[in-house]
A and B are shown apart, each in its own frame.
Chain A
Amino acid sequence: MDISVTLINGLNLAAIYGLMAIGISLLWSSVGMINMAHGATFAASGYAAWLVADATKALVLAAFGKGLLTTSLMAGITLTAGAGFGALFGALIYLLAFLPIHDKPNFPVRSLIVTLAINLATVQGLLWYFGPKQKNLPKIFGTGKLEFLGLSARYDQIGAILATAVILGLTLFWLKTSRKGLEIRAMMQNPEGAVLSGISVRWTALPVTMLTGALAGLAAILLSQTIFVSPTSGTMPLIKGLTIALLGGLGSVPGAVAGAIIIGFLEAIVGAIPFLGQRYVLFATFLFIIIVLIIRPRGLGGLLDEARK
């Protein structure tokens, strides 16, 4: 078992899962809906980025030739297309699964059903239109390996880890400092207090769904550097994101980050142990999450948050 490979793999998985889990966690705590269409956002953003990259590739190549400029320009285009389409898809989820039913009884269950339907319809739609064949996104971080202090990591892994750290940092900074962020946090902590402060749920939910959609889109681009885009590629990230959000205590951002790191390393370690291997990864993950939730039904969140209700 190579420690450095395990370490990098663990961080890489943690990065992708973290992006998904935080999206699910934020949406649940501020808007009160479990977004089962998060996987559909993931897959659809991957395809959108592929379409845009495919359409612009020849143009960019013709204009700038082969080189660093082309690679970085394509990286920018792919990331923007993925995040942008993710945000658009988030707005679609807002229009279909939030706006018409958010003040009806049993909204959490209803929205769960509607988003599940969106998820199934999107996956089937992608399968029908694009077929089951996998698509390749441009390598936005280039190809190659970096040797550093005896660690060896591929560019795409380092890129995914660093990009996630930057994206999450920016997201948390925005939540902490902006006025909209303040409104969102108020909504997360006490919906009734928020409406009495003149904060409208309807106008706060839209930026949250778009933000979480963009996070899923970025996760899709980053994971597609390692594997491919396919209609069902969103299923695993959705399941991992949901379970990690639960492990972290739904609604706790630090909990989701901690959960993603723990699960990422757990998977990398179980996958690297010779007599266990990849077959037991899912088994070990769920076993761990179940044990944690038996001991602490509210997840890890309460341990990390400074103040509770």
Chain B
Amino acid sequence: MARSGADVLKITGLTAGYGPLRVLHEIDFKVAEGERVGLVGLNGHGKTTLFRAISSLVGWQSGSILLNGAEVGGARSSGPGRRTPAIVRAGLAMTPQGDAIFPGLTVAQHLDCGAYTPKAWKDRKARRDMVFDIFPPLRKLEHALVGRLSGGERRMVSVGRALMVEARLYLIDEPSLGLAPKISASVIEALFALPQDGRALVIAEQNVALLSGRVDRMVGMHAGRIRGDVGHVSLH
């Protein structure tokens, strides 16, 4: 698979945390165009914090984050979430841990929230259809309230929301978390079935078996530091 092209994401010297707590230590991390990266590591070693630092949602951070060559990082000690909408509009799509669901919206409305560019909003119906093709169980739930869906269906809505616009970089945090093995396998299946066309995908996951053989590269995280390319881990 192609590792050509420019870097979609280039992080240098990223340190981040919450209040007095320092979670990430001087991280350097790169993702190339069209690449699929698995980010593996145990609970509490900084995978989620890395994603949240990229989207400017942690308490404080410093260090450079280049998204499509544009600086979206820098030093910041207050206002988590303030810059997030701008970063999202610069080409980031992220589904956070716990799904960040809007419980009172219907599935269709929830997906529409993801169509924030004028073009995506205009043909949101076609894009919803595309998401329903990827996650067929959602089609007949189009007008159901998201708050009433099962965990697996919520995960699909959450990932589907991120697919409503053409982002350059997709960060998917723990797609298998809290789901039955069969359902988490089908969610992962759908993620890898997505057309690649230049979008880079980073999946944080504890269940290495779900990713092995499917990603271009696996990167380990330990105690808030990147532990180099793990390479292909085969458990089969």
Contacts and interface: CB of A to CB of B under 8 A. Distances in A.
Nearest to B161: A197
Contact of B102 (A103, A189, A198, A306): A189
Nearest to A189: B102
A72 interface: no
Contacts of A191: 81
B85 A200 contact: yes
Contact of B78 (A103, A183, A307, A308): A103
A195 B96 CA distance: 12
A105 to B, nearest CB: 7
Nearest to B99: A193
A80 to B, nearest CB: 31
A183 B113 contact: yes
Contact of A194 (B57, B94, B113): B113
Given A182-B112, A185-B102, A185-B104, A196 B145 contact: no
Contacts of A195: 57, 81, 84-85, 88
A103 B82 contact: yes
A191 B80 CA distance: 11
B70 to A, nearest CB: 16
B44 interface: no
Given A182-B112, A197-B88, A308-B147, A190 B101 contact: yes
A197 B81 CA distance: 12
B100 A193 contact: yes
B148 interface: yes
Q: Which of B55, B86, B88, B148 has the most CB of A within 10 A?
A: B88
A70 B57 CA distance: 56
A309 B147 contact: yes
A98 to B, nearest CB: 13
A305 B57 contact: no
B103 A196 contact: no
Interface string B71-98: 0000000111110111011000011100
Nearest to B120: A198
B105 interface: yes
A185 to B, nearest CB: 6
B81 A103 contact: yes
A179 interface: yes
A189 B81 contact: no
A104 interface: yes
A196 B104 contact: no
A186 interface: yes
A308 B103 contact: yes
Interface string B112-131: 11101000010000000000
A199 interface: yes
Given A192-B96, A193-B102, A307 B145 contact: yes
A201 interface: yes
Contacts of B147: 306-309
B62 interface: no
Contact of B100 (A104, A105, A190, A200): A190
B109 interface: yes
Given A196-B94, A197-B88, A309-B103, A186 B113 contact: yes
Contact of B79 (A103, A185, A190): A103
B75 to A, nearest CB: 15
Contacts of A308: 103, 147
Contacts of B80: 103
B162 to A, nearest CB: 8
A305 B102 CA distance: 13
Contacts of B85: 195, 198-201
Interface in A201-257: 201
Contact of B116 (A104, A198, A201, A309): A198
Nearest to A104: B78
A101 B114 CA distance: 27
Contacts of B82: 103, 201
Contacts of B146: 307
A182 B81 contact: no
Interface of B: 55, 57, 78-82, 84-86, 88-89, 94-96, 99-105, 109, 112-114, 116, 121, 145-148, 161, 165
Given A194-B113, A306-B147, A309-B147, 15 more contacts: A103-B82, A185-B105, A186-B105, A186-B113, A189-B103, A189-B104, A190-B100, A190-B101, A190-B102, A193-B100, A195-B81, A198-B89, A200-B85, A201-B85, A307-B147
Lowest 8 CB-CB distances: which A-B pairs, in order? A307-B147, A193-B100, A103-B79, A198-B116, A195-B84, A200-B85, A198-B88, A189-B102
Interface of A: 103-105, 179, 182-183, 185-186, 188-201, 305-309
30 contacts: A103-B81, A104-B79, A179-B121, A182-B112, A185-B104, A185-B105, A186-B102, A186-B105, A186-B113, A189-B102, A189-B104, A190-B101, A190-B102, A192-B57, A193-B100, A193-B102, A193-B113, A194-B102, A194-B113, A195-B84, A196-B94, A196-B95, A197-B113, A197-B116, A198-B88, A198-B116, A199-B85, A200-B86, A306-B147, A306-B148
